[in-house]
Amino acid sequence: MILLMSDNILLQLSPLRNHVPQFDKIREEDFKPATLAAIAEARANIDAIINNPAPATFDNTIVALETASETLGSVTGIFYNQLSAAGTDGLQALAEEIGPVQANFGSDIILNEQLFARVKAVYDARGSLTLNTEQQTLLDDTYKNFVRGGALLDEARKAELRKINESMSTLGPVFANNVKKSAESFTLWIENEADLDGLPPTSIEGAKQEATEKGQPDKWLFTLDYPSFGPFMTFSARRDLREKIWKANSNKAYGDSYDNSANLLKIIELRHQRAQLLGYATHAEYVLERRMAEKPARVMEFLTELRDLYKIGALKDLEALKSFAAADGIIDLKPWDVGYYSEKLRQNMYAFSSEDFRPYFPLDKVLKGTFDHFSKLFGLKFTAAKDLPVWHEDVTAYDVTDVASGAFVGTLYADFYPRSGKKPGAWMTSYRDQGLFHGKVERPVTAIVCNFTKPVGDKPSLLDHDEVLTLFHEMGHATHGLLANGTYPSQTGTNVLWDFVELPSQVQENWLYEAETLNSFAAHYESGEKIPAELIEKLRAAKNFMSGWMGLRQMGMSILDMLWHTADPSMMSDIIAFEDEAMKGAALFPRYGGPLSVSFNHIFAGGYSAGYYSYKWAEVLDADTFEAFLEAGLYDTATAQRYRREVLERGGSEHPSILYRRFRGRDADPNALLRREGLVGAAK
């Protein structure tokens, strides 16, 4: 393999532990020359594969191809992760430059006839090769990736596909940036303290700090960042202000200078063109060929059946809300009333508020409890690595080791607070997957990135229960990456079929309704008192509160995604009309704001196109998985180790249905989800 010698920090093998990025030395201006140089290196490596006079073998072609672009993967991995976590205007401009160059290089590889001929030669001889399961999967995936990437097309169609790939390379980052910029452009300034009626102290203190940081210490500032927006919609007694901030959130990237309407339609058009060029009827057909669900019809059947079940509960939820709000003088319930009155109704029914939990969830104690939880399950130890550089002062790096053996497991970064330029939401990401790197099998470098409530003054960051759920969810993804045990990076960690990837994350949320787990870390940030047993019981009793409503919303979004990617784009021009038709079976209110689609980052700027259903698909798996722990014990060592060994460590080395059967001894029981949500029978 050809390796670069360069003064560019991004092109040097990091001397730091686990070869983690040297964040303290990376500059924005390093990315473009590093990308170009890494592409040149990768081209030379590809040429060496093509020009090898020896017959094509698994090692000299398939493995050589797997590692040929590792420097490029490292450079662009750092770049795109920083674009999400610290997206300056400079990084955004670079994304629009780098994207097409990288896309063209990808096309050069996948459309190279000589390279494909060598890959095909190995694939055609697979029956006579002595390969283990991981190697067989790598060979199969490599061949299929070439075919799905256009290797069998004629030259004219290859040229057309290349143009499509180049155009698509910039649209996703532009779409996401518009959502971010549009959200950041909204501010709700409060000057009269009476207008804060109903808001919890943590929300008020956070708004005061936001305003002070903006040079207005006598006011309060609310934004569309979830730690600001969420509590406002849930607790503000000012209906008119709830309407204002709700409509601002609903109209993100619509009708302003960051309008995504044209970008959305272009993305849909290009995806459809690519699918048809490759021989598929729709983008959904193309995507689902490499998913557990396999076909759009199967996904739609799954979604519509659940939608109809959830709708029964959602209509009951709506009637209960309307009746409760009517007693408060609200006879025309609107969407911006739902969060407010559902919280009041929950307080009325279960005698607790979501804010009652916040004092018991200081982030430092929650994080320690999270680490302890994953230690009890999987035998992991998390040690703050203060010597490793980070990309922002709020970020902490951790060395992860195996308690039993003392072996190094990987590197984890944690980045918890909102800031300007940072993408909203929460996610786990990888800076380097487990596997071959510079000729050796190296351990992974992962990160979890969130937007939690910030500390205010001397008061620590206090999370609500939903934020703790988010932390466990993202750590579930992180352990999937960290515990990977394979040779080839494209087969390890979260590199699995997309409708399986949410199992390791979603299953972790279940423990946060169990007293054994909550009692292990939840303690009042001032007194140190444990969370009251009666409060935990109330949480458990209210677990399925509004589950019909929330389930129906998720089904609507999933169906919307599928219809965007199964319909003929030539018939689309009116985004609102299309969305309303798609959502009509799940919408319980008329439209009062802009279309959801123009800010739907998951499907238009993330990896979930024709795949948003995978959250609910994985819920079937996670409900069934957790029942195994309920049967054996929440922290049963044998069950946890079997799950670690058969699911987490195996990554994408085999089909997930095979991995799941090895763990559970059978296929997942679809009724496990219905039992958990109280839709059928009783939970085991």
C-alpha 85: how far from chain center: 13
| Residue 428 near residue 474 (C-beta atoms within 8 A) | yes
| Residue 227 near residue 209 (C-beta atoms within 8 A) | no
> Which residue, among 47, 10, 640, has the nearest Cα to 373 in the 3D structure?
640
| Residue 391 near residue 23 (C-beta atoms within 8 A) | yes
Q: What is the C-alpha separation between 105 and 99, in angstroms, rounded?
A: 10
What CA–CA distances, in Å, run from 632 to 168, 207, 213, 559, 639? 48, 46, 51, 36, 7
Q: What is the DSSP letter of 132?
A: -
Burial class (CB in 10 A: 0-12, 13-18, 19+), 285: buried
Burial class (CB in 10 A: 0-12, 13-18, 19+), 651: buried
Candidate list 66, 210, 285, 474, residue with the active-site label: 474
> Which residue, among 336, 341, 350, has the nearest Cα to 319 in the 3D structure?
341
C-alpha atoms less than 13 angstroms from C-alpha of 14 in its C-beta half-sphere: 23
C-alpha 178: how far from chain center: 19
Tell me the pairing of strands 380-384 and 396-402.
antiparallel
Q: What are phi and psi of 133, to 5 degrees?
A: -60, -45
The verdict on whether 442 is a catalytic residue reads no
| Residue 603 near residue 612 (C-beta atoms within 8 A) | yes
Burial class (CB in 10 A: 0-12, 13-18, 19+), 577: exposed
Q: What is the C-alpha separation between 491 and 498, in angstroms, rounded?
A: 13
The residues that are catalytic are 474
